[in-house]
Amino acid sequence: MPPSLRDLPQIQSLLDQPNVAQVAARYSHGETVAALRDITGQLRSALLSGRDCELPDFAGNLFADTVVAAIEAMRTSSLRPVVNATGIIIHTNLGRARLAPSALSAMQAVGAAPTNLELNLDTGKRGSRHDHVEALICDLTGAEAAVVVNNCAAAVLLSLMATAGGRSVVASRGELIEIGGSFRLPDVIAQSGATLREVGTTNKTRVSDYADAIDADTAVLLKSHTSNFKIVGFTAAPARGDLAQLAAEREVILIEDLGSGVLIDLSAFGLTDEPVVADILKAGVDLVMFSGDKLLGGPQAGIIAGRRDIIASLKAHPLMRAVRIDKLSLAALDATLRLYRAPFDPLKEVPVLAALSQPLARVKERGHALADDLRQLGIADVAVQQTAAFVGGGTLPEQDIPSFAVCVALPGLSAHQLMAALRQGDTPVIGRIERGEVLLDMRSVSDAELPAIIRTFKHIANR
Ligand SMILES: *Cc1c(COP(=O)(O)O)cnc(C)c1O
């Protein structure tokens, strides 16, 4: 006869059994009860759903092992480090930028002790959290003033609310982007209380289109980086300087949402569509905003730089409190920005830029080191092959960077099964599938992570 709900023992009677009592003595009564509730709850749903289900031998050692595994799982947090072998250097699902050691120690220092976050040490009076990084951002971008919020999406929303709420925003049809499910520019403009005036066409927008659309109600001309797509062929967009001149003449504000802003020229690494923030401000853009955790290589943050009067109005806006940056991110951002100044070389010190700029020969060497170690294990077929990595984080998908990957196959496992097994290691390894094969891209992996990859393969072999 198939088991029924009546065959499920009570928690208390399980606790009274010697096998479970031993677990409770080793761990704790509370954790054991929680694990038993979890296990019996799953069995109950299985029975109720009518699925074929076998009940375990509740008095046996195997059941005690299941309880221990459930307790261990509850002790492990769901959020943990993984190895990014996808080849996408700034992977939003994998938490974007890896932080520099100096940024990590800054977070540690500020997290472990009280800080002068909002205390002016000279006067002993209340200070502003914005003061800590403003001068640094101005120095690196040439901006008059700057302010930092929680992320770039918040930066766009706050900026539009403060400059255009209740009035209209003129934007090109070719730039009305969606960055990810919940960030669609037309929706953000609507949320800010402004009205969107679309101008031009999908492929061509001229300065005259903007000029014709400006009326007494217009507050802002909005330019945005098209980030994750590109219109090619018969296209036109106004030069930034021309748009800036128009905005100045007609006394409206020119705002540019850059997404992944860069502070130094990265065109030598194939990133020709990433204008440097300082150049954008020099061209006359009033306000520019960009992410802290994309190409900048820092923590999640939204940096807004530009005209002093506009930045002052952002700082005073009621929404500011809701989108303000926290002290840990602020500390990490400050430390990251310092790596862009002497005596440091950001291409060496900022991990995102180091991954992007490391010579192909180094990437290949790492691939061979991993391949050799994997061959020693004798469980997988391995080959090192040249491939293409990507910057990610909204930087153009076609701007690929030469890379090397280790192609791995395990006898008896499909590519999808191997990917799933790699995700189950103590340190999950996230690769990618290309033409039916599992690739571990070495451009987004660091040397220090190779032992963790080997451990994960050992774990798979021992299952
Ligand atoms: C990524 C991006 C954003 C959002 O930035 P977050 O820091 O993720 O909030 C906004 N605009 C553009 C153009 C982007 O590329």
Residue that wins the pLDDT comparison between 317 and 397: 317
Per-residue pLDDT reduced to its tens digit, 27-51: 999 999 999 999 999 999 998 987 7
Q: Contact at 8 Å (CB) between 121 and 288?
A: no
> What pLDDT score was predicted for residue 181?
65
> Alpha-carbon distance 327 to 57, whole Å?
52
Residue that wins the pLDDT comparison between 420 and 77: 420
Cα diameter, the chain: 85
| Residue showing tokens 């294990």 | 377
- Judged against a pLDDT cut of 90, whether residue 333 lies above it is answered with yes
394 lines ligand 1 (CB under 6 A): yes
Ligand 1 center to 153 CA (angstroms): 6
Pocket test for ligand 1, best of 179, 188, 230, 391 (most atoms within 8 A of CB): 179
Q: Contact at 8 Å (CB) between 205 and 170?
A: no
Ligand 1 center to 293 CA (angstroms): 10
179 lines ligand 1 (CB under 6 A): yes
188 lines ligand 1 (CB under 6 A): no
Degrees, nearest 5: CA angle 393-83-336? 50
Ligand 1 center to 178 CA (angstroms): 10
Ligand 1 center to 146 CA (angstroms): 18
- Judged against a pLDDT cut of 70, whether residue 398 lies above it is answered with no
- In order of 56, 67, 245, the CA distances from 6 in angstroms are 14, 21, 79
Protein residue with its CA nearest to atom 3 in ligand 1: 259
Per-residue DSSP letters for 113-152? S---TTB-TTTSSB--TTHHHHHHHHHHH--SEEEEES-H
Identify the burial level of 432 via C-beta atoms within 10 angstroms of its C-beta, where 0-12 means exposed, 13-18 middle and 19 or more buried.
middle
- Judged against a pLDDT cut of 80, whether residue 182 lies above it is answered with no
Ligand 1 center to 216 CA (angstroms): 30
259 lines ligand 1 (CB under 6 A): yes
- Judged against a pLDDT cut of 80, whether residue 227 lies above it is answered with no
153 lines ligand 1 (CB under 6 A): yes
Architecture of domain 101-345: 3-Layer(aba) Sandwich (3.40)
168 lines ligand 1 (CB under 6 A): no
219 lines ligand 1 (CB under 6 A): no
> Alpha-carbon distance 444 to 450, whole Å?
12
> What pLDDT score was predicted for residue 395?
62
Quick one: pLDDT band at residue 217, thresholds 50, 70, 90? very high
> What pLDDT score was predicted for residue 462?
85
Two tokens, residue 324: 């303000």
Q: What is the mean pLDDT of the chain?
A: 94
Residue that wins the pLDDT comparison between 52 and 333: 333
> What pLDDT score was predicted for residue 322?
97
**All CATH 3.40.640.10 domain ranges in the chain, comma separated:** 101-345
334 lines ligand 1 (CB under 6 A): no
- Judged against a pLDDT cut of 90, whether residue 359 lies above it is answered with yes
Per-residue pLDDT reduced to its tens digit, 420-445: 999 998 899 999 999 999 999 999 99
Ligand 1 center to 257 CA (angstroms): 8
Q: Contact at 8 Å (CB) between 149 and 302?
A: yes
- In order of 79, 130, 276, 278, the CA distances from 354 in angstroms are 25, 28, 18, 21
Ligand 1 center to 229 CA (angstroms): 13
> Alpha-carbon distance 29 to 2, whole Å?
32
Protein residue with its CA nearest to atom 13 in ligand 1: 259
Look at strands 429-430 and 400-409 and give their pairing: unpaired
> What pLDDT score was predicted for residue 109?
98
> What pLDDT score was predicted for residue 397?
61
151 lines ligand 1 (CB under 6 A): yes
With H, G, I as helix, E, B as strand and everything else as coil, classify residue 301: coil
Ligand 1 center to 180 CA (angstroms): 9
Half-sphere exposure (Cβ direction) of 284: Cα atoms closer than 13 Å: 15
- In order of 211, 320, 382, the CA distances from 168 in angstroms are 14, 21, 58
> What pLDDT score was predicted for residue 49?
87
> What pLDDT score was predicted for residue 180?
72
Which of ligand 1's atoms lies nearest the C-alpha of 293?
7
Which of ligand 1's atoms lies nearest the C-alpha of 302?
7
Mean pLDDT over 318-340 rounds to 98
Per residue in 225-236, is it b (16+ CB within 10 Å) or e — as a string? bbbbeeeeeeee
> What pLDDT score was predicted for residue 51?
76
Ligand 1 center to 291 CA (angstroms): 6
Q: Which residues contact 357 (CB under 8 A, 6 or more apart)?
A: 269, 347
Pocket test for ligand 1, best of 150, 176, 183 (most atoms within 8 A of CB): 183
Quick one: pLDDT band at residue 261, thresholds 50, 70, 90? confident
> What pLDDT score was predicted for residue 4?
85
Which of ligand 1's atoms lies nearest the C-alpha of 225?
13
**All CATH 3.90.1150.180 domain ranges in the chain, comma separated:** 83-91+353-461
- Judged against a pLDDT cut of 90, whether residue 319 lies above it is answered with yes
Per residue in 286-320, is it b (16+ CB within 10 Å) or e — as a string? bbbbbbbbbbbbbbbbbbbbbbeebbeebbebebb
Per-residue pLDDT reduced to its tens digit, 361-397: 999 999 999 999 999 999 999 999 999 999 987 666 6
| Residue showing tokens 């992320």 | 151
Closest CA to 263 of 225, 294, 238: 294
State which fold the 83-91+353-461 domain adopts: Aspartate Aminotransferase, domain 1 (3.90.1150)
Task: Kindly report the backbone phi and psi dihedral angles of residue 210, in degrees, each rounded to the nearest multiple of 5, phi listed first.
Answer: -65, -45
Percent with pLDDT over 90 in the chain: 83
329 lines ligand 1 (CB under 6 A): no
Quick one: pLDDT band at residue 106, thresholds 50, 70, 90? very high
Ligand 1 center to 142 CA (angstroms): 22
Ligand 1 center to 154 CA (angstroms): 9
Per-residue pLDDT reduced to its tens digit, 128-180: 999 999 999 999 999 999 999 999 999 999 999 999 999 999 999 999 888 77
Identify the burial level of 254 via C-beta atoms within 10 angstroms of its C-beta, where 0-12 means exposed, 13-18 middle and 19 or more buried.
buried
- Judged against a pLDDT cut of 80, whether residue 458 lies above it is answered with yes
| Residue showing tokens 């862009």 | 340
260 lines ligand 1 (CB under 6 A): yes
Ligand 1 center to 294 CA (angstroms): 9
